[in-house]
Amino acid sequence: MSNRIVEYRRKELELESIKRISKFVDPKYGSFDYQDGKDEFDFTSKDRTWALEQTSYIARNLVNATEYEKAILKGKTAERRRVINGYFNERGDLLASFGDDMNGAREGVLKRILDKDEKCRKRLLIEPSFKTIDLIVTVPENPLFNDENSIVPLNSQIKNEKVVFNKIILLFVETIYVIDSRTGSYSFVRYNIADKS
């Protein structure tokens, strides 16, 4: 049986994401208050003028792979065909599966950004004191975005959408892109979470 099952929990992703961007992007995020499970922005500055929202993008095929493995572990029948390009042994154990290609990942990330944009606009109507809203999009299982130009043309698509966010931080396995949503310009950070510096 494969030991690949990874379950991502909202709170763990939110806290790990802010920890990484506080270390590798801007330490100011580290002073934000975490609004765990409350019906408001995920993280807020002490004066409640700056908000940080977090969302995640996990490829549908990886979600299907996890569901397949959970069903097998419980002794249930699972459909192999739902795991596109999955590699199975004779017993039906899933040995490997793959997420999106780069275009599919860019489309999925953009959809998550637009979903959060709609929610944050509604939240601003309730709490207009927030003047700056940033967004982290965590992509925990896509190693393809590993150089400075991998994100193109997503940065231009974001600019054209006129979202409410000032910065959009795309957090990948070992890279971070910080996009100015007004101009589409971005900075690139390669990081190693094991780095203690």
**151: domain CATH number?**
3.40.1540
Instruction: State the pLDDT at residue 2.
Output: 43
Same domain, 178 and 127: yes
Q: Considering the domain boundaries, does residue 195 fall inside one?
A: no
User: How far is residue 80's CA from residue 83's CA, in Å, rounded to a whole number?
Assistant: 6
**Cis peptide bond prior to 153, omega within 30° of 0:** yes
Q: Considering the domain boundaries, does residue 143 fall inside one?
A: yes
Same domain, 164 and 106: yes
* Domain stops at, among 96, 119, 141: 96
Which residue carries 């506080």 as its tokens? Answer: 22
Q: Considering the domain boundaries, does residue 4 fall inside one?
A: no
Task: Report the C-alpha dihedral over residues 129, 133, 138, 142, rounded to 10 degrees.
Answer: 160
Q: Which H or E run contains 179?
A: strand 175-180
Q: Considering the domain boundaries, does residue 134 fall inside one?
A: yes
Are the beta carbons of 52 and 19 closer than 8 angstroms?
no
Instruction: State the pLDDT at residue 97.
Output: 65
Q: Considering the domain boundaries, does residue 196 fall inside one?
A: no
Same domain, 107 and 86: no
Backbone φ and ψ of 54, nearest 5°: -125, 140
Same domain, 84 and 127: no
> How many CB atoms neighbour CB 33 within 10 A?
12
Same domain, 20 and 90: no
Per-residue pLDDT of 126-180, as tens digits, reads 999 999 999 999 998 767 898 999 999 999 999 999 999 999 999 998 999 999 9
Same domain, 16 and 110: yes
Same domain, 129 and 55: yes
Q: Considering the domain boundaries, does residue 2 fall inside one?
A: no
Are the beta carbons of 174 and 192 closer than 8 angstroms?
yes
Are the beta carbons of 109 and 56 closer than 8 angstroms?
no
Q: For the chain, what is the domain count?
A: 2
Same domain, 83 and 134: no
Tokens of 143: 């190693």
Same domain, 130 and 177: yes
Closest of 162, 156, 50, 59 to residue 114, by C-alpha: 162
What single-letter DSSP state applies at residue 42? S
Domain, as residue range, for 177: 10-59+100-190
Same domain, 74 and 49: no
- The average pLDDT across 31-42 equals 92
Task: Report the C-alpha dihedral over residues 72, 75, 81, 83, rounded to 10 degrees.
Answer: -20
Per-residue pLDDT of 73-132, as tens digits, reads 888 888 878 777 777 788 888 777 676 778 888 999 999 999 999 999 999 999 999 999
Same domain, 53 and 68: no
pTM above 0.95, yes or no: no
Same domain, 54 and 68: no
Closest of 188, 105, 115 to residue 140, by C-alpha: 105
Q: Considering the domain boundaries, does residue 26 fall inside one?
A: yes
